[in-house]
Amino acid sequence: MQMVKKSGIALIVAWFAILVLMPKQEFYYKLEEELAKHGLELNEEKIDEGFFSLNLHQVTVYFKGIPVATIEEMDLCTLLFYSSLELQGLHVDDSLKRMVPQETQKALLSHSILSPLKVSVDAQGSFGGVTGAIDINVRKILLDFNESKHIEMLKPQLKKSEKGWTYETSF
């Protein structure tokens, strides 16, 4: 029993050390490189590194050199088995307000090792509430607008379902 206890403690200490000592900023810069291959660039004003997270403040999102959105705060948290990306204060450029909702107060994307090919999405904004998933295996996005309000610009792309309005696309 002592051996099991010592092994368990060693595993927990090793896991904790990996999380604390993980090069979070380098991980973020690698993510920026991958996004740049698709024409997306992120320009942040300030980066704060925590024990388990990386916080970015005043992030401007550029698509092919054109600013399309700003994010007040972006928090990337990983526990190796579970990762989440929380966006607060997502404001889309005025030129895109006819295609997408202009303001999202909070959005949470989370990934678990229990379902490695799915990313769950939960968001609140001027459009109401959205829950859904991104299935990486079949390359499909499915979003359900629960409390839909001010989504007139999206209605041509949405389908009416028993839950409300649904957005579905492939990538």
User: pLDDT tens digits for the chain (171 residues)?
Assistant: 788 999 999 999 998 888 888 899 998 999 999 999 999 999 999 999 998 899 999 999 999 999 999 999 999 999 989 999 999 999 999 888 888 888 999 999 999 999 999 999 999 998 889 999 999 999 999 999 887 777 777 888 889 887 788 999 998
* pLDDT for position 152: 78
What three-state secondary structure class fits 127?
coil
CA 78 vs CA 75, 99, 155: distances in Å = 10, 32, 35
Angle at 105 between CA 103 and CA 110, to 5 degrees: 115
Domain span at 61: 2-170
Q: Based on the structure, what is the number of domains in the chain?
A: 1
- One-letter amino acid at 9 equals I
Cα of first residue to Cα of last residue in the chain, in angstroms, is: 51
* pLDDT for position 98: 81
* pLDDT for position 89: 96
Contact 92, 101 (CB under 8 A): yes
* pLDDT for position 9: 93
* pLDDT for position 51: 87
* pLDDT for position 127: 86
Contact 133, 119 (CB under 8 A): yes
